[in-house]
Amino acid sequence: MSLREAAVSRTFIQGMPKAELHIHIEGSLEPELMFEIAGRNGVSLRYASVEEARRAYDFSDLQSFLDLYYEGMQVLLNERDFYDLTWAYLQRASAQNVRHAEIFFDPQAHTDRGVPFETVITGIRRALEDGEQQLGISSELIMCFLRHLSAEAAMETLHSSLPFWKWIVAVGLDSSEVGHPPEDFKAVFDEARKHGLLTVAHAGEEGPPEYIWQALDDLKVARIDHGVRCVEDPKLVERLREEQIPLTVCPLSNVKLRVFDSIQDHDLKRMLDLGLCVTVNSDDPAYFGGYIDENFEAAREGLGLSRDDIYRLVKNSFQASFLSAAKKQRLLRELDDYFASRLTGRLR
């Protein structure tokens, strides 16, 4: 095997230091843990077994996934459940050498079931602190508003989260996209920015390029989550390229939710070649068949990504993160050392 081929092997991807910027913590709930938590909380599940749950994860679009996603997370009731959920993700991420994670959570999906906001965020936060100390993973939390609910409900959630803003770096927008344009949430995002929170939004996953324009112009987002439909609008591509707005792309998610027919049809490589600031992420790994490495591996294999493509994707993820300039520099140096050592054979 040539050095070039060896440089993009599965082990090369696994050992690469990386950042994950698009992961819904509730979407990392593996069926095994769902059953364990359901058992101790006395919640009944519609699945007879872990295998049956996995077999049900066969989606036709975003909504068909969201229906099971909201159902699955109903087992989460106590602080310990949110801790265990987050800790399990961090252990998986650590095994794949994720050095920094910016994690979404959906408070309304819990508070609407009677679980207090404080229970949710305290459980998640305690695990993140342990992740930093025991696994060396730094992290940030992004609070998402459910766009199928009203802008007023989002504003109430923003205000009720005030005591915890010290633990939240940004707000985001997720759930059913089509029919729920970003512009509807302008006032909430204005309010969040007024208080020093950054903003991101899911846009252009199933929704049209117009939603990406709105996320940029109305919500003043620092990044677009997904954004793959931008390629339909050359003016938008030009804007995203010029301003190097990061796009947190999730290849396996897009195939599972039928945004693309297959991984070979995914526009990731095309977007990179257009000069866009693209990153690779797992979205909802327990439901879509893989964590960040499996996403890199699927894209590498399906799209023939080169070593340089992979380097750019990872470099983009550090640069697009909400880390300080000093921490970005440290991780970028680590990345450069990793690539250089693997090429010269200095290490291993």
Question: Residues in the site for ligand HPA, rule: CB under 6 A?
Answer: 24, 27, 62, 69, 174-175, 202, 205, 253, 283-284
| Alpha helices by DSSP H, 96-185 | 108-111, 117-130, 151-160
Stretch that binds Zn ion, among 117-125, 192-200, 281-289, 311-319 (CB under 5 A): 281-289
248 binds, among Zn ion, ligand HPA, none (CB under 5 to 8 A by kind): none
157 binds, among Zn ion, ligand HPA, none (CB under 5 to 8 A by kind): none
CB of 245 to ligand HPA, least distance (A): 18
Cβ atoms of 14 and 338 closer than 8 Å: no
328 binds, among Zn ion, ligand HPA, none (CB under 5 to 8 A by kind): none
Of 174 and 309, the one with the shorter C-beta distance to Zn ion is 174
Does 242 participate in catalysis according to the annotation?
A: no
**Tokens matching residue 135:** 């696994």
Of 202 and 266, the one with the shorter C-beta distance to ligand HPA is 202
CB of 7 to Zn ion, least distance (A): 30
283 binds Zn ion, rule: CB under 5 A: yes
What residues form DSSP beta bridges with 24?
Answer: 104
Task: Find the catalytic residue in 30, 102, 140, 205.
Answer: 205
CA distance 93 to 291: 8
**Tokens matching residue 86:** 């987050």
Of 84 and 283, the one with the shorter C-beta distance to Zn ion is 283
Cα-based distances in Å from 19 to 35, 88, 97, 98, 140 = 29, 17, 9, 5, 11
62 binds, among ligand HPA, Zn ion, none (CB under 5 to 8 A by kind): ligand HPA
CA distance 199 to 179: 21
Of 60 and 134, the one with the shorter C-beta distance to ligand HPA is 60
Of 296 and 338, the one with the shorter C-beta distance to Zn ion is 296
CB of 88 to ligand HPA, least distance (A): 17
CA distance 260 to 187: 33
DSSP tag of 324: -
Angle at 238 between CA 255 and CA 235, to 5 degrees: 90
Rg (CA), the chain: 19
CA distance 63 to 176: 6
What residues form DSSP beta bridges with 142?
Answer: 104, 170
CB of 172 to Zn ion, least distance (A): 8
Stretch that binds Zn ion, among 85-93, 164-172, 278-286, 291-299 (CB under 5 A): 278-286
Per-residue binding string, Zn ion, 207-246, x by CB under 5 A, is ----------------------------------------
Give catalytic residue positions: 205
